[in-house]
């Protein structure tokens, strides 16, 4: 989970607190999870990534610099709650983050199957439920 608050910038549509329930989010002018209409941003400008207890800011290769708490930065940096990041004319603050545990579809199906078998479900019912889950 990554929670940001966009504090200022030319795109009034994104000035708000935003929460993403994933470990990676991409920011950019044209692509990504958070699209910001700021002419100074690249189409794909940066990525935020939670790894264990760290939040990393990855600028794309073509990004010359960004500001972290008012200081110039050019490489990947660890962020903490309360940090302010300025990319072009857009400023955001890190509100919260933690690693979102992901379960693969195979793990989910195996866990669900084990639960159904433990419940002594008839085999036909198990097959029907698994078929429905695979179609989701």
Tens-digit pLDDT profile for residues 48-101: 999 989 999 999 999 999 999 999 999 999 999 999 999 999 999 999 999 887
Q: At what angle do helices 123-135 and 105-118 cross, to 10 degrees?
A: 160
What's the whole-number mean pLDDT along residues 32-56?
Answer: 95
* pLDDT higher at 2 or 122: 2
Q: Which two tokens stand for residue 67?
A: 């500001």
Give the rounded percent of residues in the chain with a pLDDT score beyond 90.
69
Using a cut of 0.75, tell me whether the model's pTM lies above it.
no
Q: Is the pLDDT of residue 103 over 70?
A: no
What's the whole-number mean pLDDT along residues 19-47?
Answer: 94
Question: For position 90, what pLDDT does the model report?
Answer: 97
């Amino acid at each position: 989970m990554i929670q940001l608050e966009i504090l200022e910038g030319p795109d009034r549509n994104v000035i708000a607190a935003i929460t993403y329930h994933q470990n990676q989010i991409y920011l950019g002018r044209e692509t990504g999870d958070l699209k910001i209409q700021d002419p100074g941003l690249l189409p794909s400008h940066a990525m935020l990534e939670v790894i264990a207890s760290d939040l990393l800011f990855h600028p794309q290769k073509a990004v010359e610099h960004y500001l972290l708490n008012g200081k110039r930065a050019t490489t990947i940096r660890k962020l903490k709650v309360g940090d302010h990041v300025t990319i072009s004319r857009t400023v955001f603050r890190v509100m919260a983050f933690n690693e979102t545990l992901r379960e693969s579809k195979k793990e989910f199906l195996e866990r669900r199957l084990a639960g159904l078998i433990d419940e002594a479900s008839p085999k036909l019912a198990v097959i029907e439920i698994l078929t429905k889950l695979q179609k989701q």
